[in-house]
Structure 1
Amino acid sequence: MINEKDLLFLENPDVIFRVALALLTYHKQKLLQCDSFEGIMNYLKTQLPLIDKPILDKIMKQVYTTDIRKQLEEYKVEYQVLQEERCSVQPHVEALHKLEGQNRILTD
């Protein structure tokens, strides 16, 4: 019998996201009732560990039936595009700062 601790080794690393998604889905209503970040963190620290076996089994069933590979791949591509855009803009920003400095010198 495979237990929850072996799940990470059996599945690929996206199981971490599936577990987090299942836990957040289960606690969604209570989390939405929190009125601050500290309240959310307190709820996660105190209530999340109190899950009983039947609820844990339900959450693990959701983990096994949820497939988020496509969404994770889309997010990965989007992140890579943003990183490339950031890197391609950086030389232009540096050139702009250099020209602004030269402009100040000439103005003075």
Structure 2
Amino acid sequence: MKLYTYDPAPNPRRVALLLKYKGVELDAEQVDLTKGQQMSAEFSAINPQWTVPALQLDNGEVLSDVIAICYYLDSLYPEKSVFGKDALECAKVIAFCQRLYVDGLAAVA
């Protein structure tokens, strides 16, 4: 797996905090958003949405949504789960994340 990230940005920071909490290290590459590296042909081939974080799996698939990346990593490394121990807890965590996103976006807009 390889994580394409940009440390100063908020969504990549969310993935970084999850990885730190879990004690997991991934191969990572910085994509400097201030220099427009996300729009390069090389990165566009990985993630045509031009967003970070992007997690490229060993089979070549790419996850580019922060919640999907965090859920995938939490499932892959279940020690110290942040999404809960059963389906109901997981659903509540995902609902809370969505509520934060929607309410936060509305406040900023």
> TM-score when scaled to structure 1?
0.28
The structure with the largest strand share of the pair is 2
| Higher RCO (CA 8 Å, separation ≥ 6 residues) | 1
The structure with the largest helix share of the pair is 1
